[in-house]
Amino acid sequence: MKAIEVRKDEVKWAAGSTMLGAGAVHQGRELLHRAVLSDRRAEGGGFAYLLRLTPPPGKLLRAIATSRSDEHVYLLEGGYCNKAGKLIHFPGDYLLNPEGHPHGFFVAVETRVLVICRGEPDEIREFGVVDPV
């Protein structure tokens, strides 16, 4: 198999609404963008992508999902927070959501993550804007 290379200036971001529908749009603005880095599922491999999450000012993005394969998440910028908006996971933090694991996150600041799935990406059950508690 040939190596896959994606240079930073060649990354193609797609609007989150193409994946998640209207829940990924708030007041006409896309809240989530995804850039696929590699997709080798057809050959029995994994799926790697970048996510860029941009919450509206004073609001949180909330996602609830179930892993359809082992999902490795590495925070590049921003971070995940609790329901009050306080950061609890920071750039450089790593998370593993094993296959079948229900999980979720809150985002209060613009956040970028690298996600690598052993197979299929998460089943997103909910995604939207919420107020901090």
Q: DSSP label at 57?
A: T
* pLDDT on residue 131: 97
* C-alpha 18, offset from chain centre: 14
Between the alpha carbon of residue 95 and those of residues 44, 70, 75, 104, the distances in Å are: 23, 11, 9, 12
Region of residue 77 (phi > 0: left; psi between -120 and 50: alpha; otherwise: beta): beta
> What 8-state DSSP symbol labels residue 69?
S
Report the distance separating Cα 69 and Cα 46, nearest Å: 9
Q: Is the pLDDT of residue 1 over 80?
A: no
With 0.75 as the threshold, say if the pTM is over it.
Answer: yes
Q: Structural domains in the chain?
A: 12-84+97-130 (2.60.120.10)
DSSP state of 62: E
Contacts of 88 (CB under 8 A, 6+ apart): 79, 80, 81, 82
- Please report the pLDDT score of residue 21 as a whole number: 86
Split at pLDDT 50, 70, 90, the class of 61 is very high
DSSP letter, residue 100:
T
Q: For residues 24 and 38, what is the distance between their CA atoms, to the nearest angstrom?
A: 23
